[in-house]
Amino acid sequence: MTTVIEQVPAHLRQLAEAVVAAAAADPRLLAVVAGGSIATGTSDEYSDLDLVLVCTPEAHQECIAGAKEFAARLDPLLAAFTGEHVGEPRLLIALYGPPLAHVDLKFVTPEQLHDRVEDGVVLWQRDDSVDRAYAESAASYPQPDPQWIEDRFWVWVHYVAVKIARGELFEAIDSLGAIRSISIAPLATYGRTSKPSGVRRLETLAPELLSEFRETVATVDRDDCLRALKASVALYRKVRESSGVQVVRRTAAEEAAIDFLG
Q: Do 9 and 128 belong together in one domain?
A: yes
Q: At what angle do helices 146-166 and 251-261 cross, to 10 degrees?
A: 20
pLDDT above 70: residue 226: yes
Contact 171, 223 (CB under 8 A): no
Render pLDDT for 124-154 as a digit per residue (tens, 0 to 9): 999 999 999 999 999 999 999 999 999 999 9
The one-letter amino acid code at 75 reads D
Q: Are both 112 and 181 inside the same structural domain?
A: no
Q: Which of 84, 106, 136 is the last residue of a domain?
A: 136
pLDDT of the residue at 2: 46
| Judgement on whether residues 29 and 106 belong to the same structural domain of the protein | yes
| Cβ atoms of residues 106 and 90 within 8 Å | yes
DSSP state of 229: H
Q: Is pLDDT at 3 greater than 70 in this prediction?
A: no
Strands (E), 19-174: 29-34, 49-55, 77-83, 88-96, 101-108, 121-125
Q: Domain residues for 202?
A: 146-261
The reported pTM is 0.86
CATH of residue 163's domain is 1.20.120.330
Residues 17 and 129 in one domain: yes
Q: How many domains does the chain have?
A: 2
* pLDDT of 1 higher than 70: no
CA distance 116 to 71: 23
173 and 98 in a common domain: no
pLDDT at 41: 87
The CATH number assigned to the domain holding 103 equals: 3.30.460.10
Residue 120 and residue 154 in one domain:
no
Q: What's the pLDDT at 194?
A: 86
- Mean pLDDT, rounded, for 82-100: 95
pLDDT, average across residues 248-256: 98
- 154 and 225 part of one domain: yes
Which long-range contacts (C-beta less than 8 Å, at least 24 apart) are formed by 126-129? 126/24, 126/29, 126/30, 126/31, 127/30, 127/31, 129/30, 129/31, 129/54
Query: Is residue 141 included in any domain, yes or no?
Result: no
Residues 6 or more apart from 195 whose CB is under 8 A from it?
A: 40, 117, 118, 141
115 and 171 part of one domain: no
pLDDT in tens, 173-196: 999 999 999 999 999 999 999 889
Cβ neighbors of 88 (< 8 A, separation 6 or more) are: 106
Report the pLDDT averaged over residues 157-172.
Answer: 98
